Amino acid sequence: MQQTFYKYQGTGNDFVMIDNRQQTFDKKNTEQVAFLCDRRFGVGADGLILLENHDDFDFKMVYYNADGNESSMCGNGGRCLVAFAKQLGVIKDKAVFEAIDGLHHATIDGDIVKLQMLDVDTIEKHENHVFLDTGSPHHVQFENQIEAFDIKTEGSKIRYGSPYNEAGSNVNFVKKVNDQIFTVRTYERGVEDETLSCGTGVTAVALAMHAINETTENLITLQVQGGELRVSFDVENGLYSNVWLIGPAKFVFKGTI
């Protein structure tokens, strides 16, 4: 059966988007999801996202990594889904939707989508890295030679190594530019490669940098391979709230396969 899909990208993190309000997509078909995400044999994407109806909110988000498995929250994917929902006429310029990690508020103005992320009250500060969950698990560590660093090799070692093992974590390498700007490169679990941007990842980096006193700012710019994202937040007694991921989400093309 032909499948209509829409391709979106948010700072180079790209997704196959499907309008599943009629519940026609076979959600158990891992092979089909992996095929659609395959960059040689399929459409090609870091992940696949279903837009579904919700009784109480604007829509529901279901996210799959490129490996075909349903996964945890995708920040850039959530931003792209808001833009997709507007393109379909499901929303106008704001949304409240349910994702695997709970409810998300969002606004859209042109290409710019602002997505509210989870509150974070637990940030593990280790000797050489920080670990936190911003809707997906993130390992954060400094790498001053970030431009030449072998993200896939080194990220994979951390992702599959102890304590993450098979369940894994996303891995973010960070270089400080100044108190307002950090450069980030991310190895993504479930893509098992570097992605040009990771929304929950840059959110994790922004909060981690504040938590370890690398900055006192609460509006931080993250330079990623695919562009720039911003993260804003409030913090009180170690609780990070009112966390917003801000950046572009763009329609690329519509197709059938």
Ligand X SMILES: N[C@H](CCC[C@H](N)C(=O)O)C(=O)O
Question: 1 vs 138, which CB is nearer to ligand X?
Answer: 138
* Burial (0-12, 13-18, 19+ Cβ within 10 Å), 193: middle
37 is catalytic: no
Which among 18, 33, 45, 74 is annotated as catalytic? 74
200 known member of a binding site: yes
Which among 198, 220, 229, 231 is annotated as catalytic? 198
Q: Do the beta carbons of residue 17 and residue 7 sit within 8 Å?
A: yes
Instruction: Report the SS3 class of residue 204.
Output: helix
Instruction: Tell me the closest approach of the beta carbon of residue 3 to ligand X, in angstroms.
Output: 22
Instruction: Tell me the closest approach of the beta carbon of residue 137 to ligand X, in angstroms.
Output: 6
Cross-strand partners of 115:
106, 245
Q: Where are the alpha helices (DSSP H) in the chain?
A: 30-37, 75-88, 151-160, 199-211
Instruction: Tell me the closest approach of the beta carbon of residue 156 to ligand X, in angstroms.
Output: 13
Gap between the Cα atoms of 121 and 241, Å rounded:
8
127 known member of a binding site: no
Question: 52 vs 188, which CB is nearer to ligand X?
Answer: 188
> Residue type at 22?
Q
188 known member of a binding site: yes
199 known member of a binding site: yes
Residues near ligand X, by CB under 6 A: 13, 46-47, 65, 71-72, 74-77, 136, 170, 188-191, 198-201
> Among residues 84, 212, 69, 60, which one has the least CA distance to residue 136?
69
What are the tokens at 75? 């920040």
Pairing, β 219-224 against β 193-195: unpaired
80 is catalytic: no
> Residue type at 24?
T
218 known member of a binding site: no
Question: 191 vs 207, which CB is nearer to ligand X?
Answer: 191
Question: 39 vs 92, which CB is nearer to ligand X?
Answer: 39
Which amino acids are annotated as binding site for substrate, given as ranges? 13, 65, 75-76, 170, 188-189, 199-200
Give the residue numbers annotated as catalytic, written as ranges. 74, 198
